[in-house]
């Protein structure tokens, strides 16, 4: 009888203990909900916005994992950046590198960044956002004529051609409008 009582107490302790842990965890998640629902942190660094928004949309650092930014943001890589010279002086490179690394996908709890971090956790780090599996999957049904064959888009890399609130970090389906194909 005594043994039974003790084991019941132990069992109860285990049960309530683990329940408390579960409650704590879901409370943590509940507290983070606004972060998880907000899609992506917009670009806040002025230098990044200016230098990395000169030729194309200033991609939010949260769109790639840190290991991708580490590959993209060296003098050597920037000298031949997708066929263009996008090299920076030492001081600017350091500021942009530090900013990108601090805000990379895996550093963020925001929805899109979480998905991108998970999607790139294994394998070679992608050099393009458009090569991230999650991003590829979201676009593979769009016919090529609406992207490359579309003078107002030209490349899937031009996020803001279709995502009307891309600069605010919003990529939700409801905010998409493909130029020349408004009904897509
Ligand atoms: C001199 C012009 C130029 C500058 C400056 C520049 N880029 Fe690019 N970038 C390009 C071109 C061209 C591409 C390829 C676009 C394409 O394939 O449609 C590209 C592509 C990219 C891609 C891949 C996009 C994709 O396809 O997913 C990333 C990421 C990127 N740039 C980041 C940066 C960052 C960060 C900076 C600032 C350090 C920067 N770029 C500055 C010209 C530039
Ligand atoms: C040709 C227009 C076009 C371009 C360019 C484009 N997208 Fe999209 N994107 C779409 C469409 C359309 C959808 C909705 C797909 C669907 O039906 O779920 C989408 C979906 C997404 C989603 C998922 C949204 C959701 O609610 O699930 C993300 C994230 C996204 N795009 C990011 C990007 C990024 C980042 C870029 C640039 C590197 C980009 N897109 C370039 C058209 C585009």
Pocket lined around ligand 1, Cβ cut-off 6 Å: 51-52, 54-56, 59, 72, 81-82, 84, 86, 96, 128-130, 155, 157
Please report which confidence band the pLDDT of residue 183 belongs to, taking 50, 70 and 90 as the band edges. confident
* Res 12 pLDDT > 60: no
Task: Give me the sign of the Cα torsion angle 88, 94, 97, 103.
Answer: negative
Spatial distance between the Cα atoms of 46 and 60, rounded to a whole number of angstroms: 12
Q: What is the pLDDT of residues 132-158, one digit of tens each?
A: 999 999 999 999 999 999 999 999 999
**Global model pTM greater than 0.85:** yes
**Tokens 């051609």 — which residue?**
161
Ligand 2 atom nearest to 63, measured from its CA: 35
How far apart are the CA of 142 and the centre of ligand 2, in A?
A: 9
> Is 130 in a helix, a strand, or coil?
helix
């Amino acid at each position: 009888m005594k043994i039974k009582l003790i084991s019941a107490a132990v069992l109860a302790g285990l049960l309530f203990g683990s329940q408390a842990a579960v409650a704590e965890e879901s409370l943590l998640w509940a507290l983070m909900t606004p972060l998880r629902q907000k899609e992506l942190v917009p670009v806040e660094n002025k230098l990044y916005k200016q230098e990395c928004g000169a030729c194309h949309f200033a991609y939010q650092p949260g769109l790639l994992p840190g290991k991708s930014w580490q590959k993209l943001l060296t003098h050597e890589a920037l000298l031949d950046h997708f066929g263009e010279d996008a090299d920076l002086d030492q001081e600017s490179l350091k500021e942009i590198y530090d900013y990108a690394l601090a805000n990379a996908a895996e550093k963020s709890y925001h929805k899109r960044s979480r998905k991108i971090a998970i999607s790139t956790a294994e394998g070679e780090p992608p050099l393009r956002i458009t090569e991230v599996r999650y991003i590829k999957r979201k676009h593979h049904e769009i016919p090529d004529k609406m992207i490359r064959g579309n003078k107002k888009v030209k490349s899937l890399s031009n996020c803001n051609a279709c995502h009307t609130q891309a600069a605010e970090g919003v990529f939700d389906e409801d905010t998409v409008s493909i130029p020349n194909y408004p009904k897509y």
